[in-house]
Amino acid sequence: MGWSGSSSQTTADGHNQPAILIDSQKYLHYISGAHGHKIWHRKSLSPVTNNSWNNNDSVWAGVAAMDKFSPGPLKTVERDPADSELQAGVDYIGNPQGGYTYVQPRIDSNDNIHLTMRDNVVSNGLAGYRLTYIQGSPQGNGNIQWKDKGTLVEPNWKQYSNYTQNTHLDNEVVFMWYIPMEFRISKKQLGTINRLSEHFIPAQNAAKTLVLPIV
């Protein structure tokens, strides 16, 4: 499904925690893990209820990921975004040069995919190690169109931050909470997220909560 190395060396990395989601049409969606690099999406070529996709419930002997899923990286994707080139045909999510870690995926009842993750790339005056939000909208047959929804939290501390975020979907609302490490809500950036900054409600407790209507 695509190999994520921990650095310029192809060693295993516990930060890389991929996820598999299933939509209402029974397509599988693979979201890669990451440690400071790009992330990608692969979808099953058919619904998992399709007998041919399931090999008529037979063992998948000799079956490769390319036989069952849309294309993924054929080369190691390394931690430093500058180390690895973009590979043709891969559905990269967000910034194609990456910088993502701790990807948290959720899928709602309308098959929208919601991703929150840390982004350590300094961009457009924003500090690195911020908490970002990307949303994927279904386009039919398991295809997804991705949109970067912007920065949720920008840290005061510019060198390193971690969020331990979690996301819950309730009807038409995304609830996202995180444990701060001296963070501040970036009002300037929240105001750029579809002008929905008034819907982000920071809770008055140790674990901060943001609330976002699904649009």
**Residue pLDDT tens, the chain, 215 long:** 766 555 555 566 777 788 999 999 999 999 998 888 889 999 999 999 999 898 887 777 778 888 899 999 887 776 665 656 788 899 999 987 778 998 999 999 899 999 999 888 877 777 678 888 899 999 999 999 999 988 887 776 666 777 778 777 776 556 666 655 443 444 333 333 333 333 333 434 444 555 555 54
Rounded distance, CA 10 to CA 173, Å? 39
pTM: 0.80
What's the pLDDT at 186?
A: 40
What's the pLDDT at 206?
A: 40
| Sign of the four-CA dihedral 95, 125, 8, 4 | negative
Token readout for 96 is: 């194609």
What's the pLDDT at 43?
A: 97
List, edge to edge, every strand of the sheet that includes 39-43.
19-22, 28-31, 39-43, 91-93
Rounded distance, CA 116 to CA 100, Å? 10
What's the pLDDT at 81?
A: 58
Q: Which of 114, 105, 142, 107 is nearest to 26 (CA)?
A: 142
What's the pLDDT at 162?
A: 78
What's the pLDDT at 191?
A: 33
**Beta strands at 35-37 and 39-43: parallel, antiparallel or unpaired:** unpaired
Alpha helices in 29-186 (DSSP H): 65-68
Q: Tally the C-alpha atoms within 13 A of residue 79's C-alpha that lie toward its C-beta.
A: 14
What's the pLDDT at 21?
A: 97
Please, which residues have CB within 8 angstroms of residue 204's CB and are 6 or more apart in sequence? none
